[in-house]
Amino acid sequence: MIDLIRLVAVARVFEVKGGFRSAIPHGTGHIHDTYCVTFDAGDREERIILQRINTLVFKNPVAVMENIKRVTDHLRSRLNGEADLDRRVLRLVPTQDGASWHVDADGQFWRAYRFIEGAHTYDSVESPRQAFEAAKAFGDFQRLLADLPEPRLHESIPEFHNTGKRFAGFERAVAEDAAQRGAEAQDEIAFAISRRTIATALLNAELPERVTHNDTKLNNVLLDDETGEGICVIDLDTAMPGLAAYDFGDMVRTMTSRAAEDERILSRVAMDFELFESVLRGYLQGAASFLTEREFDTLIIGAKVIVFEQGIRFLSDHLAGDTYYKVSRPGQNLDRCRTQFKLLKSIEEQQDAMLLLLRSLI
């Protein structure tokens, strides 16, 4: 936790009118330190999202910020003329010197966004409508970025969805057993090994490279409080070249089971087919116009790959001693892994029906 004096000093670097009023930790992201900072601008309050970038995860934060600037500028130009434009695209708050980020005296990287008011993120899906709206927002995001001019975006985390490499990392984590937790995770380790072929299912599939979000979980889209519309896609750190199927997969992962990602009562974790249908319809509404036949065919495989990948990522981090994802209690990464593996089994049971529905909709 960063102390308030330091936080105030950092907040003042950014171009915001008015006096500092408060800074409160915000959101439930697993990676950055996120604060909602309020300023007193005379007749009204102004809020920003201030983030300390996790540079253990994003080793080249300058490349990340260059990507975000290009992506948000492009989205804004594509949505030019739409009502409420400032709530539909993230807007970076520049520093007083006009930069998109700030490095503090300790070498920490900071950035700020305008706070999008009247909207919220949700950690667990509550209704088919929410699933539809969030998936449509991500589908729109891919479509609007399909004509992003050259050059190619930086790979903010190289090989991010190379599930084969993720599996090799998992095997290393098992062998090292750095936190001596392997013995209590035998069932999960055995399950991961039993499904190892999923890891390579989409490698060498010769699919077109797209500009994708790569972290399309439900709580990375703001839903409008009044209309329920998926108003703004956020968390753009991993927007980079990728496969449409991986984005779709992460939507299925986070929008088709009502249980929390770290739910401990596993009977609550299952893919709800009605929610899946909403995710599919929402995504296709946004993205069907540009996807190829081969891409359609790989969407369901993408769901299995991403749920499996996430399961082994959580398990690897548990075995390594929780060095990557933030945890708020012991064993949380193992619980997160268990929900992923339960969800994967549920998807496996329903994959034929999922494919039939997909074929009927395209």
Q: Which two tokens stand for residue 247?
A: 């984005």
Integer Cα distance of 261 and 336 in angstroms: 6
SS3 333: helix
- Enter the DSSP assignment of 98: S
257 contacts 343 by C-beta, under 8 angstroms: yes
116 binds, among Mg ion, ligand GN1, ligand ADP, none (CB under 5 to 8 A by kind): ligand ADP
Instruction: Encode 289-315: b = buried (16+ Cβ within 10 Å), e = exposed.
Output: eebeeebbbbbbbbbbbbbbbbbbbbb
Query: In the complex, what is the shortest distance from the CB of residue 163 to ligand ADP, in angstroms, rounded to a whole number?
Result: 21
* CA–CA distances in Å: residue 278 to residues 130, 272, 320, 342: 8, 10, 37, 21
The reply on whether position 220 binds Mg ion by CB under 5 A is yes
How many chain residues touch ligand ADP (CB under 6 A)?
A: 17
Query: What residues between 20 and 49 interact with ligand ADP by CB under 6 A?
Result: 26-27, 29-32, 34, 49
Closest CB to ligand GN1: residue number: 30
Query: In the complex, what is the shortest distance from the CB of residue 98 to Mg ion, in angstroms, rounded to a whole number?
Result: 27
The reply on whether position 116 binds ligand ADP by CB under 6 A is yes
Measured from the CB atom, the residue of 113 and 167 that comes closer to Mg ion is 113
Measured from the CB atom, the residue of 30 and 166 that comes closer to ligand ADP is 30
Instruction: Point out which span in 36-44, 65-73, 222-230, 235-243 binds Mg ion (CB under 5 A).
Output: 235-243
The reply on whether position 188 binds ligand ADP by CB under 6 A is no
The reply on whether position 121 binds ligand GN1 by CB under 6 A is no
The reply on whether position 215 binds ligand GN1 by CB under 6 A is yes
The reply on whether position 311 binds ligand GN1 by CB under 6 A is no
| Sign of the torsion angle spanned by Cα atoms 154, 159, 161, 162 | positive
Residue 35, classified by CB atoms within 10 Å of its CB into exposed (0-12), middle (13-18) or buried (19+), is buried
How many chain residues touch ligand GN1 (CB under 6 A)?
A: 11
Measured from the CB atom, the residue of 129 and 326 that comes closer to ligand ADP is 326
39 contacts 16 by C-beta, under 8 angstroms: yes
Q: Which of 306, 300, 282 is nearest to 137 (CA)?
A: 282
User: Which positions lie near ligand ADP, rule CB under 6 A?
Assistant: 26-27, 29-32, 34, 49, 90, 113, 115-116, 121, 219-220, 234-235
User: Which positions lie near ligand GN1, rule CB under 6 A?
Assistant: 29-31, 57, 215, 217, 220, 235, 238, 261, 310
